[in-house]
């Protein structure tokens, strides 16, 4: 129930406060140049890809903090605005950035380990007498790493919510996320399946749009210059999908997090009220 209930309120919130779409649309528009990097010379394409990765590594937490803050305003029936977006961003940017970089480093570490395991397994298949046994060991090891990685992402997925909504610091946001997920493991798994599954579907649609509407790069060279109509269709389609998914995710994830922490919040408020009453 905790997974579905917050989703039902999303259309109402977005209808009442369409300003939530604006920062997400801006973020989507800023990513448009990345779609057409392949039409450049391969070396320039690599340089610009690394440049965009570096810029968005520091830009994404800014939008993440501001958008979650606006969604928090909206779910509390408070009027939000772009000035509120900027206020939330400035207040929480450093903490969200640090936590985001920690999660990014962990993800990169897992990726490096997977590559190492792959090469070790590839070597083992070539040297072991029983190649089938080697393949089995590689498959089991890979599965263990994948499950561990997904479990870690599941446990850390609410770090920004804890920072923005509950005013935790960077480390506090990460540990609070783990605590909330551990206390609500079934609901958190259901939420993760819904969100990651929806993201995979959106990513698949995006890939199809790019495949059919933009030219692919020739081997060893840049792609041919795309036609205007496919460019406009592909760009508008991907921006629309990004904005729609981003807005729904922001409102839904905030509502879901507050659903999970509502009992603790109420207990904390009751304790504060009791303490205030006793002091009076």
Domain residue ranges in the chain: 5-266
Q: Spell out the residues 6+ positions from residue 46 whose beta carbon is closer than 8 angstroms to its own.
A: none
Q: 75-79, 180-184, 219-223: lowest mean pLDDT where?
A: 219-223
Structure tokens at 44: 């320039």
Give 209 or 243, the one with higher predicted confidence: 243
Structure tokens at 238: 């991907």
Contact 70, 88 (CB under 8 A): yes
Mean of pLDDT values over 91-106: 96
**Res 92: pLDDT:** 97
pLDDT higher than threshold 90 for residue 206:
no
Q: Is the dihedral of CA 82, 83, 88, 89 positive or negative?
A: positive
What's the angle, vertex CA 119, arms to CA 114 and CA 124, rounded to 5? 120
pLDDT higher than threshold 70 for residue 222:
no
Query: What DSSP state is assigned to residue 158?
Result: T
Q: From CA 172, how far away is CA 44, in angstroms rounded?
A: 40
**Res 255: pLDDT:** 94
pLDDT higher than threshold 70 for residue 130:
no
pTM of the model: 0.84
Mean pLDDT for all residues in the chain: 83
Q: From CA 155, how far away is CA 178, in angstroms rounded?
A: 5
CA proximity to 35, closest of 26, 43, 45, 25: 45
- Band (pLDDT 50/70/90 cuts) for residue 39 is low
Mean of pLDDT values over 97-125: 83
Question: 236-264 burial, b if ≥16 CB within 10 A, otherwise e?
Answer: ebbbebbbebbbbbbbbbbbbbbbbbeee
Contact 95, 62 (CB under 8 A): no
Using CA atoms, how far residue 73 sits from 24, 95, 245, 277, in Å, is: 16, 19, 19, 29
**Res 212: pLDDT:** 65
Lookup result for tokens 């909504």 = 165
**Res 264: pLDDT:** 72
Q: What is the share, in percent, of the chain residues with pLDDT greater than 90?
A: 47
Query: What DSSP state is assigned to residue 129?
Result: S
């Amino acid at each position: 129930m905790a997974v579905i209930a917050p989703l039902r309120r999303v259309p109402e919130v977005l209808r009442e406060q369409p300003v939530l779409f604006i920062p997400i649309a801006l973020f989507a528009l800023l990513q448009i140049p990345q779609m057409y990097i392949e039409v450049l010379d391969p070396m320039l394409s690599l340089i610009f890809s690394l440049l965009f990765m570096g810029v968005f590594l520091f830009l994404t937490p800014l939008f993440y903090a501001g958008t979650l803050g606006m969604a928090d305003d909206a779910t509390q029936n408070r009027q939000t605005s772009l000035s509120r977006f900027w206020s939330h961003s400035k207040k929480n940017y450093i903490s969200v950035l640090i936590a985001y970089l920690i999660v990014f480093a962990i993800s990169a570490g897992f990726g490096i380990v997977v590559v190492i395991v792959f090469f070790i397994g590839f070597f083992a298949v070539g040297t072991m007498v029983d190649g089938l046994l080697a393949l089995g060991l590689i498959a089991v090891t890979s599965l263990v790493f994948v499950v561990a990685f997904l479990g870690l992402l599941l446990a850390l997925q609410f770090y920004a919510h804890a920072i923005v909504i509950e005013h935790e610091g960077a480390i506090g946001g990460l540990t609070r996320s783990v605590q909330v997920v551990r206390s609500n493991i079934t609901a958190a798994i259901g939420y993760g399946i819904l969100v990651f599954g929806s993201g995979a579907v959106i990513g698949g649609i995006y890939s199809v749009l790019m495949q059919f509407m933009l030219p692919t790069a020739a081997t060893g060279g840049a792609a041919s210059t795309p036609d205007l109509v496919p460019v406009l269709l592909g760009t508008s389609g991907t921006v629309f999908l990004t904005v729609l998914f981003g807005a729904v995710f922001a409102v839904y994830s905030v509502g879901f997090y507050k659903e999970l922490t509502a009992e603790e919040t109420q207990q904390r408020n009751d304790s504060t009220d009791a303490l205030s009453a006793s002091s009076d």
